[in-house]
Amino acid sequence: MTLGTGVGGGIVADGAIYRGAHGFAAEIGHFTVDPRGPRCACGEPGHWEAYASGTALGRMGAEWASAGDAPALLARAGGDPAAVTGVDVGDLAREGDADALALVGEYADRVALGLAALANILDPERIVVGGGLVELGDLLFAPLRVAFEHHVEGRSYRPAVPIVPAELGERAGAVGAAALARTLVGDGGGDGGGDGGGGGAGP
Ligand SMILES: [Zn+2]
């Protein structure tokens, strides 16, 4: 999955990208977690993306700043809560600000909620996370792993699912697209590379 402006996804099963019957599979950001929730970029209310994207982290930060719960964050945004972005929250968390760290923790829990739901359906071998938010490193991954274990079904019976940063980082989408192009051109029907995963980046 990718955590950036939106939430993107790709499912690799048995070494191949799973595309669904019509090529629309793995739009993992667009399932409803709260029908009365905030509107998603796609127009529907309460999709997971509206809680788990970097944009959503910025919106949470704006809410906290507006309520007086994150003074340093408000100051960073020049005193205007509406100007708070996910990047502001991330930067401040890396500087050790307690409010920003708490925001990232709550954000991680929302990401984990959706990942646990997907894991309940797909039972993945591993979950690879790319996108801009990965730059937060363990500030994000540590609470994410804890929250995921808390939310996933049958956690005391199933093997732990590794949740790891994408090795190709921000380049994963471009590398995956190039690998796909190579298979489309068809150099003798080779498989074109099972490590290009993570195709289909989010909006
Ligand atoms: Zn949506």
Q: 71: CA distance to ligand 1 center in Å? A: 31
* 104-123 pLDDT tens trace: 999 999 999 999 999 999 99
Hey, which bits of 34-158 come out as E strands? Answer: 127-129
Q: 96: CA distance to ligand 1 center in Å? A: 32
Whether 202 maps to a domain, the answer reads no
Give the three-state DSSP class for 13: strand
Give the three-state DSSP class for 140: helix
Q: Which of 91-95, 98-102, 128-132, 166-170 has the lowest mean pLDDT?
A: 166-170
Q: Is residue 47 pLDDT above 50, yes or no?
A: yes
CATH number at residue 175: 3.30.420.40
Q: Is residue 3 pLDDT above 90, yes or no?
A: yes
Helix axes 54-66, 98-122, angle to 10 degrees: 140
Q: Is residue 203 pLDDT above 80, yes or no?
A: no
Q: 146: CA distance to ligand 1 center in Å? A: 26
Whole-structure pTM value: 0.87
| pLDDT at residue number 21 | 97
Q: 33: CA distance to ligand 1 center in Å? A: 11
Q: How far apart are CA 67 and CA 35, in angstroms?
A: 24
Whether 125 maps to a domain, the answer reads yes
Whether 98 maps to a domain, the answer reads yes
| pLDDT at residue number 187 | 59
Q: Is residue 194 pLDDT above 80, yes or no?
A: no
Whether 58 maps to a domain, the answer reads yes
Whether 61 maps to a domain, the answer reads yes
Show the domain range for 115. 2-196
Q: 115: CA distance to ligand 1 center in Å? A: 16
Q: 38: CA distance to ligand 1 center in Å? A: 10
Tally of domains within the chain = 1
Whether 41 maps to a domain, the answer reads yes
Whether 201 maps to a domain, the answer reads no
| pLDDT at residue number 201 | 42
Looking at every residue in the chain, the average pLDDT score rounds to 90
Cβ partners under 8 Å of residue 120, min gap 6: 152, 153
Q: 52: CA distance to ligand 1 center in Å? A: 11
| pLDDT at residue number 202 | 41
| pLDDT at residue number 184 | 86
